[in-house]
Amino acid sequence: MSLVAIAEKDFQDAVRSRGMIALVALFSLLVAVFAFVIRPTGQGEQFATELLLRFFVRPFLVTTLVPLVGVVIGYNAVSGERESGSLKLLLSLPHSRADVVFGKVVGRGAALSVAVFAGFLLPAAVLAVLAQTGGIAAFNAGSYFGFTVFAAVLGVVFVAIAVGCSAAASTQRRALIGGVSIYVLFVLLWGAVTGQFLGAAGGIVDPLPLSTEQVRMFLRVSNPKTGVEILSNAFLGGQLFTGETVNRQISAASMLVFWTIAPPLVGLWKFDTDGL
Amino acid sequence: MTAIELRGVRKEFGDVTAVRDLDLTVEEGEVYGFLGPNGAGKSTTIDMLLDLVRPTSGTVRVLGRDATGDGVAIRQRTGVLPDGFSVYERLTGRKHVEFAVRSKEADDDPDDLLERVGILDDADRKAGGYSKGMRQRLALAMALVGDPDLLVLDEPSSGLDPAGAKEMREIVEREADRGATVFFSSHILEQVDAVCDRVGILREGELVAEDSVEGLREAVGGEETLEIAVGGADGTEGAGDAGVEAVRAVDGVSRVDRDGDALVVSCADGAKTRVIAALEDAGVAVDDFHTREASLEDLFLAYTEGDAPTTGASDEGSSTGGADAADEEVER
């Protein structure tokens, strides 16, 4: 399996980078700081795992930092190898370009997941031990672990978008510009951009059998960042893929799948038509 | 079966035509040297064999398959040493070879291959710390994985010292003995002479000559090289320069270079007595001279610089019937 070979090589290459250790350290440090900030002060107070996740870890780490890390890990996947010349070595072996693009998504997605799991779970292990020994009351390890999975999913989606961009870019510089744009669009400006779009496209939306509200909701859910927020909220509320928001959750999940597959495909199409 | 077959291949990058109307055939089991100065289109041609770039027009067939549509199947049976590649800095040499073995679904022992190319001792070091020559050896080891039917080596000796280049030639010879077809490019003819069955010379994207090395030598004809020591110990400065002018004016002389106190003259077979005479007329003392057979370099330059000698230079001034061509020494 050519794709697996590339994914494995890329994973090994990525986890050996110094940035990887820095990343794990940064994640751990931030989680530890947040946990310290919300530590129970009075006697008999419970450790608020949900509070930690919902109001600290998610906004500061998951939906802000993890996408950034995904973009940074992904943006040079193909263009970096093209620029350095190692792509020649790679494509001298019997790999198709599809193997290269999707192998990179898998390999780097896995590397990012390892960083997220290591970074989130190291401090959690400390919390769990404290909970066991009675140092703190009731640390909800299940919620925490599930939440970490969502963080990794979001990271992988951004890796996929960035790898697609990297495959399409003819130079490392363009890939970098593309990566920054991805981050700015999805993380910072999605609401403003889609709002503008709705305003401008009013004439097109009106004749459709959809209310503006439905289109707005669709656009909101289309953002992988929002998608993960919706799903993780449902998860923490014990209503993953059930309850009244089930339709919205399914749309969100489908959009996450879409963003994992479509950008690499578009990148591949461009990569395939280009020479090296 | 033919290993490589290019028909009417043309490749344009924007307004630049890198390769034009190239027809080239390499038979199975042949060792083919692909020569040309830097920028002649060698790497572009090789990239087209491997589907790294696609021809603007024409067809490229490798091992009986279409290069554009069947690249993966072709590369499955081909070992490639690319030009201008880089290694994965953080992975060890052994990991590189393991990756190639996995990619080709071969069962080679990475250590055997690393041993063959002479870098087994450095197998556990990260390739980022390798010298240029070691990287070249590493890529060769990767190319040898799976006993390929075709070896495509782009400037294989670059970065290697003379001993390394010799080892490279020996490996190429062993692969050829095994029955592999070898296609390799070089801008130095000396490197290909010993191993090639046939060479093709590419110039500005066109194949200007294709033959065995002996055949090419014959085609260039009676061209020979004279090395003339002038001035000498009594050292009249500037005598050399006057000599160069005088010799250039002689009929049948194609090239004159200064090499310290010596003049290196490429001329038609019969012109050498006239060259000596011209020097003496110009008042330049000739201490010593000897002739040598047209070197491969001269041969190469004849094809890649100036006018390609399609008719051969031997139809000029062969009056004095050049006697033995090689290493005739005359003491004066």
CATH number at residue B241: 3.30.70.100
Same domain, B22 and B153: yes
Burial class (CB in 10 A: 0-12, 13-18, 19+), B312: middle
What pLDDT does B223 receive? 65
**Helix, strand or coil, per DSSP, at residue A247:** helix
Give the range of the structural domain holding residue B228, as residue numbers without chain letter.
218-331
Contact A93 B50 (CB under 8 A): no
Domain borders along chain A are 2-186+264-273
Alpha carbon distances (Å) from A9 to A104, A108, B137:
9, 10, 20
DSSP strand pairing (B181-186 vs B31-35):
parallel
Of A8, A11, A2, the residue nearest A95 (C-alpha):
A2
| CA nearest to A88 within chain B | B85
Q: Report how far residue A152's alpha carbon sits from residue A148's, in angstroms, rounded to the nearest whole number.
A: 6
Same domain, B113 and B253: no
B209 touches chain A (CB under 8 A): no
Same domain, B160 and B244: no
B80 touches chain A (CB under 8 A): yes
Q: Report how far residue A109's alpha carbon sits from residue B176's, in angstroms, rounded to the nearest whole number.
A: 43
A16 touches chain B (CB under 8 A): yes
Same domain, B42 and B172: yes
* Cβ pair A9, B88 in contact under 8 A: yes
pLDDT tens-digit map of B171-224: 989 999 999 999 999 877 666 777 888 989 898 888 988 888 778 777 766 567
Which of A1, A89, A100, A271 to mutate to test binding with chain B, by most B CBs within 10 Å of its CB? A89
What pLDDT does A67 receive? 94
Q: Report how far residue A221's alpha carbon sits from residue A209's, in angstroms, rounded to the nearest whole number.
A: 19
In sequence order, what are the residues at sequence separation of 6 or more whose Cβ sits closer than 8 angstroms to the Cβ of residue B42? Answer: B34, B35, B36, B154, B185, B187, B202
* Cβ pair B46, B185 in contact under 8 A: yes
Give A 36-65 residues with CB within 8 A of chain B: none
The domain boundary residue, chosen from B190, B213, B236: B213
Distance in Å, alpha carbon of A18 to nearest chain B alpha carbon: 10
Distance in Å, alpha carbon of B150 to nearest chain A alpha carbon: 12
Q: Report how far residue A186's alpha carbon sits from residue A81's, in angstroms, rounded to the nearest whole number.
A: 26
| Element holding B218 (H helix, E strand) | helix B213-220
Summarize chain A as % helix, strand, coil (round to 5).
Answer: 80, 0, 20
pLDDT tens-digit map of A71-109: 999 999 999 999 999 999 999 999 999 999 999 999 999
With left for phi above 0 and alpha for psi between -120 and 50, is residue B318 left, alpha or beta?
alpha
* pLDDT > 70: percent of chain B: 83
Q: How many domains does chain B have?
A: 2
pLDDT tens-digit map of B122-170: 999 999 999 999 999 999 999 999 999 999 999 888 888 888 888 988 9
Does the predicted model carry a pTM greater than 0.90? no
